[in-house]
Structure 1
Amino acid sequence: MIFNRSAILLLATLLCALPAFSQDAPKFKFGKVDAEEFQKKAYSVDSSANAVILSEVGISRFIGNNSGGFTLEFKVYRRAHILNKNGYGVADVTIPLYTGSQSEEKLINLRASTYNIENGKVVSTKLEKSSVFKDKINKYWAHQKFTLPNVREGSIIEYEYTIESPFLFNLQPWYFQGENPRLWSEYQVAIPQFFNYVTLKQGYHPFAVETTSTKNDNFTLSESRTAMATERYSFQASIAERRWAMKDVPALKEESFTSTLRNHISKIEFQLSEHRPPLEYRRIMGSWTDVMGELLKDEGIGQINGNNGWLGDAVDGAVGNTTDKLQRAKKIYAWVRDNLTCTNNYGYRTTQSMKEVLRKKNGNVADINLLLIAMLRKAGIAAEAVILSTRSHGYTYSMYPLLERFDYLIAAIGIGESVYYLDAADPSMGFGHLPYKCYNGHARVINADATPLEFSADSLTEKQLASVFIVNDSAGRLLGSVQKRAGYFESARLRRAVKEKGKESVFTDISRAAGAEMTFLEQSIDSLAQMEGPVDIKYKFTMPTGDEDLIYFNPLLDERFKDNPFKSAQRLYPVEMPFAMDQTYLLRIEVPKGYEVDEIPKQMVVKLNEDGDGVFEYRISQTDNAIALRCRLVISRTFFAPEEYETLREFFNLVVKKHSEQIVFKKKK
């Protein structure tokens, strides 16, 4: 730490005081558990919960240390009630500790106990030090782990600990939400004026407490100059005391159409932005252009900046005699995609040199796409690297250049007025297409301007069209002919399925989904090798009519929604679909010989909302001896806020109900 010592010598000495708990927090004292606390078998926050966090409090503060700088002190207290065996997991505790090149975070003052009722009395079982283990995760992280002893159904556990950290960038985040509901979750942070942190808040549960106050406190630091001499510095500074608390926080559970729970969990985290006087001023968080400039100099990413003459043979082998730029780009892309294997589908940092990638024909996503960029540049095509965060990794912040928020690297090329985005690490993607996991909002081009990009899931529409014609054959059976054009991402899935399991598996799935006795006469899957376009499925089938008085026939065959994907009655965070959808199903069926129509579903057209963000059409009619159906489902946007969930759920309930309706044929008398 570098100080403005002349300013410090003008200030007085007093140690920084720990912020005090507010009166409205639950009053729990470590080691004091009353028998009445065991009487509850369920809690109103979630009557089906397996375990409930009764109270958790975190406190972070800065203290002067003996190295002439500051230490971050992070104290945690947590008490939980285990209601049944499925809640035992709350007694397994993992504490991450960061390790640097010369120092590491330390866990101190750990104590933990389990409490049970025995013969009407509260009995405590303490955690032994020998039961605490340390796992080295990688060169940066280690985990301290322990499991509370003597845990049973109905046990109450509590533990507390302190982490001392020399890493000022690692002001601890706080998660107010998790897999168990919380009756009270609180975080207090006291930040001196000479440190500036960006505060990032996330989540949908409201704060019960959110306050900020300031006061003056004194700091004392010491630094050994010689074996016999220690220099001490004391100064006064303003402290911002911030406090956040949430009450009755429900558990966060995985729902359908969720990018990742990381995007929605209620939490607070911090990013060190700058040092301020009386410290020597230092800007920590740079601008986007600063950060991208550093990435351009990165040993791995910077490989694309050279002449890379050694790539000439590979480029020539890929493009041959092709002179058109777009066609050259397509051939290079296809060569890299089809000849290299991705060993890790995430990461924007390289794991090896491009020469090694080319020689070994494998690498992570960054290795492969950077090689693609270098080859494109060698072929005279303007290409740049783009970093983004995939859906499962979470959102990035367009305002703040936080590289740990990114986990993927793709290529961007410009030819004429057109820009194409490429991912050669995914063998199922055609030229100009990205996997839908990449459509997660803000991204950045690694160039001098740090050009921002936006990959919105709303820009993707999965269009699907199926046409079905069913007639009577001479043997008294129904003879069907189906043509189906899959959406782009469904086509990618089909290509993978055929590659892994063969074509027959696709038709087995169709028959199973239709829920009918189908015998295939002809079957084909077209365009499997044409990666830029959709896959066409064609087949013919027969279905017996039997000799029943009534025939029940679902006209949607395998194209129906059997279940509502939105099962929960309530949703606490948004719905995030990976793409918009436009599904059209056309059917014409002859009435089976010897039968007549007894019952036919009613027609319906319904909108999701006033803006028409979703439309469901079910148009069915009978003309003479044939029935025609046109069924279409359109969802034109992908993000729905929690307050829109009930409407969306009811809309799909209606779709599922209508899709289940059947045509009833009865035997003629």
Structure 2
Amino acid sequence: MKFGKVSKEEFGMNKFRNDTGAHAIVLTEIGSSSFDSEGDWFKLVYKVHRRILIVDKNGYDEANMVITLYRGGEQEEKLLNLKASTYNLENGQVVETKMDGKSVFSEKIDKEYVNKRFTMPAVKEGSIIEYSYTVHSPFYQRLRPWNFQGEYPRLWSEYQVAIPEYFDYVQIQQGFESFAVKKSEIVRQTFSFVDRGASAGASSSTFTATPTVGKFTWASQDVPAIHPEKFITTTRNYVNRIEFQLSGITLPNTPRSSKQSTWGELMKNLMEDKDMGKYLTEPNYFLESMVNSLVSNTSSNEEKARKIYDWVRDNITKVGDDQIWTSQSLKTTFNSKKGNITDINILLGAMLIKAGLNAEAIVLSTRDHGYVFQHYPIYSRFNYTIIGLTLDDRYVTLDASDPLMGFGRLPIDCYNGGARKVNAFGDQLMLSADSIFEQRTTSVSILGMENGKMKGMRSRKSGYFESLALREKIKEEGKDKYLESLNKANNGLEINNLEFDGLDSLDKQLIESCNFEYAVDNPDIIYFTPMMDEAYKKNPFIAMERKFPVEMPYVSDEVFTLNWAIPQGYEVDELPKSARATLNGNDGYFEYILQQSDGYIQFRFRLQLKKANFLPEEYATLREFFDLVVKKQAEQIVLKKKK
């Protein structure tokens, strides 16, 4: 592919056979990573050339480009040879609009990363955009990964990598799509180096080396877009991708030098980093007065911890993006009362330590950020910091960045597998979705009918995370607005006398109670769905097949009971049959029990999911299980007037 040589035919490639509704199509993308000499050592040379067809305005996001560069110590990656053009077909001719070099802007992300941003010019529906660039990097340990799949279909995606024999990289591949090309060869390449001499004033000399070089090529053709699905953490875990981890260097006449850090080494470095764990080992005298005032009248370590946690949670406001680095000094966070998640939680840890408690930082990757490769310690796999606290005989995890989060609780997004303690050992801490148990219990009584309306009471105890979401909703819109939205959503069900128990008790599940009236359309015959507004409207698993695992945020147990006094003058005409079912033996359980006795109808529904994650091969039975649940929940009790 030659830059600027865009054919008229390419403008007609606006339909992808497996995704005719795609808003953009990557026509061709070719990347390469190779080594070159620089001074007396190597540098990495990364090149990208990409051509994209913008099908409609919903694909304009592809015209906003971001190139991320890394810097460490005194060295940094450099962006070179950036070219970008937009092509439009006007009166049968291809018209090129070049991007002005002044349109590139720099944006600091954190202490390690800088984004270079630019927007393609003259973009409209049907445009083709093209750009190419080169990145020179002194960081040989950071061989760039490549995604063969993304938000839009890719007709051709190719990555070439050339690695001298001195460098040993582990290749990590993931994804479900096969390669059209996958090949390798061994060649020899000559590198010229400059030895500047060991002492000042010494003359420099040139020397060469001709190692063998492994050349690898991977290419994919007609790769479909990958889109987020319901009950999936992130497509990042499943996108077709290859990445590299440096495991060692073997130079001529020298023993092999291992470059793969252990978790202990990586976390020890983080513990000593001035923008992260080092704050927890410093005296932090400025915290003494506040900590002493908070713990002065406490009688236990847990009470101390709760007082400090509550103060940080209630007084420090979260700003900025998720990352494992602090954005400012600890003192600035304390005085300004705002900071990013790591700022807040490192302050929490420092205050707990100041109170004589045993606290440490923990880093993790949130569900939307992707899994951590447990065999390959890499900083970039983490994006979130929490605090671990040893309290007598138990270990508690804390996150004070959410103003409604209870003590010892973490946001649901933190439960994504292996986290790491920031200590000299880098101990793993499993935060699994299977460890979260959400239990909801609903009890309904219908005790009479008056003026064509059934009257009843409902009490519902929500699971903890459902309670958290409800607290956030009520905080945002108020109780009256929340009640109004409930009544608007419930066809025929009018709720009143709404009360909450535990709204301000952030450690506890929320209990919601109310009275309700249910309007009967035809007084001669009553059709009633026993689960009322808590029934599934449709199966949450719509697709017939699924490539990716089902990843639910927790295991759950829902119980719904109904006690209905049959109204005077009515009799039961139809009563749905009871049913029970299990899912894959012991993975789930469902029961739907209805009986009539002494003028009452008793109903009990229970749905248990005993694990959070299901493999693609388990999807069909999971879908069938929910088909049964939805079908039974939709069945109605029918009462008719006695003759």
Same fold per superposition (TM over 0.5): yes
Partners of 1:509 and 1:607 lie apart in 2 by: 35
SS in structure 1 at match of 2:493: coil
Which of 445, 448, 455 pairs up with 1:479? Answer: 455
* Equivalent residue number for residue 529 of structure 1: 504
TM-superposition CA deviations, 1:595-619 (whole Å, max 9, x none): 33333333332333x2332222222
* Equivalent residue number for residue 597 of structure 2: 623
| Alignment CA distance shift 1:602-1:169 (3 Å) | same
State the one-letter code of the partner of 2:167.
F
Q: Alpha-carbon deviation of 1:440? A: 0.9
State the one-letter code of the partner of 1:256.
K
Q: Alpha-carbon deviation of 1:279? A: 9.6
TM-superposition CA deviations, 1:468-495 (whole Å, max 9, x none): 0101156664221111111011111222
Q: Alpha-carbon deviation of 1:547? A: 4.8
1:132–1:144 CA contact under 8 A, matched in 2: no
Alignment of 1:242-261 (within 5 A): 242-261=216-235
* Equivalent residue number for residue 171 of structure 2: 199
* Equivalent residue number for residue 151 of structure 2: 179
Partners of 1:39 and 1:295 lie apart in 2 by: 52
Partners of 1:94 and 1:474 lie apart in 2 by: 65
Q: Alpha-carbon deviation of 1:224? A: 6.8
Q: Alpha-carbon deviation of 1:238? A: 1.8
* Equivalent residue number for residue 600 of structure 1: 575
Partners of 1:339 and 1:392 lie apart in 2 by: 27
Alignment of 1:482-561 (within 5 A): 482-520=458-496, 522-545=497-520, 547-561=522-536
1:174–1:269 CA contact under 8 A, matched in 2: yes
TM-superposition CA deviations, 1:248-273 (whole Å, max 9, x none): 32101122222222222221222344
| Alignment CA distance shift 1:664-1:544 (3 Å) | same
Unaligned runs of 5+ in 1: 1-27
* Equivalent residue number for residue 638 of structure 1: 612
Which of 207, 211, 222 pairs up with 1:237? Answer: 211
| Alignment CA distance shift 1:206-1:620 (3 Å) | farther
TM-superposition CA deviations, 1:125-174 (whole Å, max 9, x none): 33425377211111742425352657554x66655444444443442221
SS in structure 1 at match of 2:190: strand
Partners of 1:651 and 1:381 lie apart in 2 by: 48
| Alignment CA distance shift 1:228-1:341 (3 Å) | closer
Alignment of 1:157-168 (within 5 A): 159-168=131-140
Which of 29, 32, 36 pairs up with 1:56? Answer: 29
Alignment of 1:173-572 (within 5 A): 173-222=145-194, 231-278=205-252, 284-299=259-274, 300-308=276-284, 310-344=286-320, 346-473=322-449, 477-520=453-496, 522-545=497-520, 547-572=522-547
State the one-letter code of the partner of 1:56.
E
Indicate the larger mover: 571-580 or 654-663: 654-663
2:147–2:242 CA contact under 8 A, matched in 1: yes
| Alignment CA distance shift 1:218-1:564 (3 Å) | same
Q: Alpha-carbon deviation of 1:309? A: 5.0
TM-score (norm 2): 0.89
| Alignment CA distance shift 1:252-1:71 (3 Å) | same
Partners of 2:358 and 2:14 lie apart in 1 by: 65
* Equivalent residue number for residue 17 of structure 1: none
* Equivalent residue number for residue 10 of structure 1: none
SS in structure 1 at match of 2:356: coil
| Alignment CA distance shift 1:172-1:378 (3 Å) | closer
1:181–1:250 CA contact under 8 A, matched in 2: yes
Q: Alpha-carbon deviation of 1:353? A: 3.5
Partners of 2:96 and 2:159 lie apart in 1 by: 26
2:165–2:212 CA contact under 8 A, matched in 1: yes
Partners of 1:476 and 1:152 lie apart in 2 by: 57
TM-score (norm 1): 0.86
1:511–1:558 CA contact under 8 A, matched in 2: no
Partners of 2:464 and 2:183 lie apart in 1 by: 50
1:125–1:150 CA contact under 8 A, matched in 2: no
1:607–1:613 CA contact under 8 A, matched in 2: yes
Are residue 574 (structure 1) and residue 544 (structure 2) matched?
no
State the one-letter code of the partner of 1:128.
K
| Alignment CA distance shift 1:248-1:603 (3 Å) | farther
Partners of 2:502 and 2:529 lie apart in 1 by: 29
* Equivalent residue number for residue 42 of structure 1: 15
* Equivalent residue number for residue 125 of structure 1: 95
2:86–2:120 CA contact under 8 A, matched in 1: no
SS in structure 2 at match of 1:168: coil
Which of 39, 45, 57 pairs up with 1:73? Answer: 45
Partners of 2:372 and 2:100 lie apart in 1 by: 41
| Alignment CA distance shift 1:334-1:131 (3 Å) | closer
Q: Alpha-carbon deviation of 1:198? A: 3.4
State the one-letter code of the partner of 1:196.
D
Q: Alpha-carbon deviation of 1:313? A: 3.1
State the one-letter code of the partner of 2:296.
G
TM-superposition CA deviations, 1:262-320 (whole Å, max 9, x none): 22222122234444304987654432222222222222422222444554432332233
Partners of 1:103 and 1:449 lie apart in 2 by: 30
| Alignment CA distance shift 1:498-1:103 (3 Å) | closer
TM-superposition CA deviations, 1:399-450 (whole Å, max 9, x none): 2221122122222122332111112222222222212111111111111222
1:114–1:148 CA contact under 8 A, matched in 2: no
| Alignment CA distance shift 1:132-1:555 (3 Å) | farther
Q: Alpha-carbon deviation of 1:397? A: 1.9
| Alignment CA distance shift 1:619-1:510 (3 Å) | farther
Partners of 2:108 and 2:462 lie apart in 1 by: 43
| Alignment CA distance shift 1:287-1:98 (3 Å) | closer
SS in structure 2 at match of 1:511: helix
TM-superposition CA deviations, 1:607-640 (whole Å, max 9, x none): 33x2332222222223353222211111121122
Aligned residues: 635
TM-superposition CA deviations, 1:339-361 (whole Å, max 9, x none): 33333473332233333333333
SS in structure 1 at match of 2:346: helix
Indicate the larger mover: 416-425 or 96-105: 96-105
SS in structure 2 at match of 1:376: helix
1:348–1:406 CA contact under 8 A, matched in 2: yes
State the one-letter code of the partner of 1:133.
S
* Equivalent residue number for residue 622 of structure 2: 648
1:132–1:145 CA contact under 8 A, matched in 2: no
State the one-letter code of the partner of 1:529.
D
State the one-letter code of the partner of 2:26.
I
Q: Alpha-carbon deviation of 1:370? A: 2.3
Q: Alpha-carbon deviation of 1:570? A: 4.2
Partners of 2:387 and 2:66 lie apart in 1 by: 38
Partners of 2:305 and 2:60 lie apart in 1 by: 56
| Alignment CA distance shift 1:39-1:129 (3 Å) | closer
Indicate the larger mover: 128-137 or 220-229: 220-229
Unaligned runs of 5+ in 2: none
